[in-house]
Amino acid sequence: MSLKKQFIKTKPVVKVTFSIDAKDASTAAVVGDFNNWNPEEGTLSKLKNGTFKATYDLVKDAIYEFKYLIDGVYVNEPEADSYKWNDFAGSENSVLAV
């Protein structure tokens, strides 16, 4: 799993690449504050090596909570900037600061 941030000097956005190794999974998505926790808006594409990956433009100078949804199971990003408890979910969410 990894996060890659690419800051764009000419725009108020950061290109964030989400990738997760899930060779045995059939579907994966990233869900969070930036897409209303909607898996259809956070679909990740499966590569030949079994990694799911996608890049999204996120507004910079913001903090987002997110998780991966792999075959219906929520998973945190081990390389997240931090973690925040969510009472609604009853678990921690990954935190991304851009």
Two structure tokens written together for 59: 């507004």
Domains of the chain: 2-97 (2.60.40.10)
pLDDT at 89: 79
Stated pTM of the model: 0.92
Mean pLDDT by 10 residues, the chain (98 residues): 88 95 96 96 96 96 96 95 91 95
Burial bucket for residue 56 (CB in 10 Å: 0-12, 13-18, 19+): middle
Give residue 50's Cα distance to chain centre.
17
pLDDT at 88: 83
